[in-house]
Amino acid sequence: MAKTSMKVREINRIALNTKFHDTRLQLKVIIRDLNATDEEKDQAEGALQGLPRDSSITRQRKRCRLCGRSRSYNRLTGLCRIHMRHAVMNGLVPGMRKASW
């Protein structure tokens, strides 16, 4: 079970990302623009660096829906390996079953 503070931190990162997403895209377009002057690019880089760190999408971590575990996350179901195993054993995931050979 993940700590409550980690879950809250992840929620805050998602909120910051949605808040600054358009701003980040506009600044990155200016930085990549071939026709922009060096001064404009420098200003855009400074503004991009001035944004909060957690507003970047790369800072987010996928977490299990049930327990908040960040490691061994399955994108298909949104569960960690532990809860995925329980779901398969109980027959809640169609098409999956425990291997026995």
Please, which pLDDT band fits residue 94 given cuts at 50, 70 and 90?
A: confident
Both 54 and 77 in one domain: the answer is: no
Query: Following DSSP, what letter does each residue of 36-82 receive, concatenated?
Result: S-HHHHHHHHHHHHHS-GGGSGGG-----TTT---SSEETTTTEEHH
Domain of residue 5, CATH code? 1.10.287.1480
- The better pLDDT of the pair 24, 1 is held by 24
Return the pLDDT at 95. 86
Expressed as residue numbers, the domain containing 6 is 1-61
Both 10 and 47 in one domain: the answer is: yes
Both 53 and 95 in one domain: the answer is: no
The stretch 18-44 carries a mean pLDDT of: 95
Both 56 and 80 in one domain: the answer is: no
Hey, which residues does 73 pair with through a beta bridge? 80
Indicate if the pLDDT at residue 98 is higher than 80.
Answer: no
Return the pLDDT at 41. 95
Confirm if 27 and 44 have CB atoms less than 8 A apart. yes
Structural domains in the chain (count): 2
Both 47 and 73 in one domain: the answer is: no
Both 21 and 46 in one domain: the answer is: yes
Indicate if the pLDDT at residue 2 is higher than 90.
Answer: no
Both 19 and 34 in one domain: the answer is: yes
Please, which pLDDT band fits residue 25 given cuts at 50, 70 and 90?
A: very high
